[in-house]
Amino acid sequence: MELTYRVRGTDGKEYGPATLAEINTWLREGRIDGQNETTRSDIDYWVPAANFSELEVPRATSPAAAPAAHAARPIAATPVIRSNPATEAYLKSGASWFYWIAGLSLINSVVALSGSQWGFVLGLGITQIFDAIEQNIQGGGKAIVLVLDLIVVGVFVFFGVFAHKRHTWAFVLGMILYTLDGLIFLIGQGWLSLGFHAFVLFCLFRGFKACRELNVG
């Protein structure tokens, strides 16, 4: 998905979302300068436009050449976008595990509801419990269980979306729920699934650390 930007004008209003090309056009036309507070769709804080290396900020409005009036703004205290390729890779890898959890759990549920016995060990225990209960429900049991499965899967997709946007809370809540889900396999002595849970939690924690590092100004 293409990244977009929003800008706060001198009138206090927000403009956007706008593409990179549109923002650079605004800069060239002088509608905004390097000091306008700007945010990008993959972060949740505001920084001067000059802090984004991909923006074509005129030299006269860059932080080093800004006039004294602009220099009075608390730019130094504003978090700077960190872009370490290795750290970014850890964050994206960790966040993507939420999608794997959701996708494989959904496949397990569809397979179980169809009457088959195989499944992926990476799937969630809670959805497997729902699928097992379905065997004892008469009438519209499959529809009810499928809705419950979709809700659980949707929660982990939700975590994945916001983890990719550098929200540390998404990693924290996701790891807590996935740990609780692992207790199901511990009680049921599903050691292989429990081992995969431990591995995925390690990957999620590594993504959380990368997210926190990238968010530190």
**In what side-by-side order are the strands of the sheet with 37-40?**
14-18, 5-8, 37-40, 47-48
Q: What is the pLDDT of residue 121?
A: 66
Render pLDDT for 149-186 as a digit per residue (tens, 0 to 9): 889 999 999 999 999 998 999 999 999 999 999 998 89
pTM of the model: 0.59
What is the pLDDT at residue 9? 84
pLDDT of residue 193: 86
Alpha-carbon distance 107 to 119, whole Å?
Answer: 8
The segments of the chain whose pLDDT lies below 70 read 1, 59-84, 117-121, 135-141, 217
pLDDT of residue 140: 61
Q: What pLDDT is stored for residue 64 in this prediction?
A: 44
| Closest C-alpha among 88, 19, 87, 89 to residue 54 | 19
In the structure encoding, which two tokens stand for residue 85, read together?
């390729």
As a whole number of angstroms, the distance between CA 48 and CA 115 comes to: 57
Domain boundaries of the chain, sorted by first residue: 5-71, 85-215
* Phi, psi of 7, deg, nearest 5: -130, 140
Chosen CATH of 5-71 out of 1.20.140, 1.10.530, 3.30.70, 3.30.1490: 3.30.1490
Kindly give the residue spans of alpha helices, DSSP state H, lying in 114-140: 125-134
